[in-house]
């Protein structure tokens, strides 16, 4: 991977409701940060677009672009994607954001409160639409039902080279843990099931697969 350009997204996004509140999720960014660190350790030039988390990458050479919300993440990713060999979108991006951010703190005048939400732009799908045959695009999926079938649909719909399916019912896997258990489904129809491992070791598996695909794409 020496000299190759890798773009990674990681962490949650925070969608502002008013100046003091947001809609977020439990992502810590650990998996994406581990991928960024591993890629940099392999000599890649890494840009990490990182949502709001107290964690950060450790490798000195990584360029980290901090963002808060899905719209900012979309903008940052598109700034770097043209000049990217491999993009790994590991962030837990909010699918919905408030239609409007209230300019002042919302007061509790009523007994109930509804906040109209609109869909955010799907960053991964937008890259799938513009990627060239030599660029490798990798997404993540977290499914609670028909996991592999749904992940495969997502892989096709978003025009990915492969998708990393997180097992969420597995002890020690997923949000905030230092370990993860994943399956990789490729566009060629291959399925690889991995055992529970450290996120660092999972990052290595993902980058091994990315390298393999990158070279078989004729690079």
Q: Which of 91, 173, 202, 213 is the binder for ligand CTP (CB under 6 A)?
A: 91
Residue closer to ligand CTP by CB (options 1, 77) is 77
Q: Which of 4, 154, 181, 199 is the binder for ligand CTP (CB under 6 A)?
A: 154
Q: Does 93 bind ligand CTP (CB under 6 A)?
A: yes
Q: Which stretch binds ligand CTP (CB under 6 A): 36-44, 52-60, 137-145, 206-214?
A: 137-145
What span, in angstroms and rounded, lies between the C-alpha atoms of 156 and 113? Answer: 38
Q: Does 49 bind ligand CTP (CB under 6 A)?
A: no
Token duo for residue 177: 């843990």
Strand order in the sheet with 182-186: 63-66, 45-50, 5-10, 86-89, 136-142, 162-166, 182-186, 191-193
Positions marked catalytic: 25
Q: Which stretch binds ligand CTP (CB under 6 A): 22-30, 50-58, 90-98, 194-202?
A: 90-98
Residue closer to ligand CTP by CB (options 94, 204) is 94
Q: Does 124 bind ligand CTP (CB under 6 A)?
A: yes
Q: Does 11 bind ligand CTP (CB under 6 A)?
A: no
Whether residue 141 contacts residue 115, with contact meaning beta carbons closer than 8 Å, is answered with no
Q: Does 122 bind ligand CTP (CB under 6 A)?
A: yes
* Secondary structure letter of residue 12 according to DSSP: B
Token duo for residue 129: 């639409």
Please tell me the count of residues contacting ligand CTP according to CB under 6 A. 15
Residue closer to ligand CTP by CB (options 9, 135) is 9
Whether residue 57 contacts residue 106, with contact meaning beta carbons closer than 8 Å, is answered with no
Cβ-in-10-Å burial (0-12, 13-18, 19+) of 111 comes to: exposed
Closest CA to 43 of 31, 59, 20: 59
Residues that bind ligand CTP (CB under 6 A): 9, 70, 89, 91, 93, 95, 120, 122-124, 139-142, 154
């Amino acid at each position: 991977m020496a000299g190759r350009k890798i773009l990674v997204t990681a962490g949650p996004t925070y969608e502002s409701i008013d100046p003091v509140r947001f809609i977020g999720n439990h992502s810590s960014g650990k998996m994406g940060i581990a991928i960024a660190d591993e890629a940099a350790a392999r000599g890649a030039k890494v840009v990490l677009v990182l949502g709001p988390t107290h964690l950060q990458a450790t490798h000195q050479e990584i360029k980290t672009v901090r963002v808060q919300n899905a719209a900012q993440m979309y903008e940052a990713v598109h700034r770097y994607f043209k000049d990217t060999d491999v993009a790994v979108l590991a962030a837990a991006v909010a699918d919905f954001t408030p239609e409007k951010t209230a300019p002042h703190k919302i007061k509790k005048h009523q007994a109930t409160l509804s906040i109209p939400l609109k869909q955010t732009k799907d960053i991964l799908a937008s890259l799938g639409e513009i990627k060239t045959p030599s660029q490798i695009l990798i997404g993540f999926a977290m499914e609670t039902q028909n996991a592999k079938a749904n992940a495969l649909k997502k892989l096709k719909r978003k025009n990915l080279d492969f998708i990393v399916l997180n097992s969420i019912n597995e002890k020690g896997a997923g949000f905030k843990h230092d370990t993860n258990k994943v399956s990789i489904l490729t566009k060629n129809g291959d399925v690889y099931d991995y055992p529970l491992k450290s996120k660092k070791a999972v990052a290595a598996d993902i980058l091994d697969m990315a390298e393999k695909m990158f070279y078989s794409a004729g690079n």
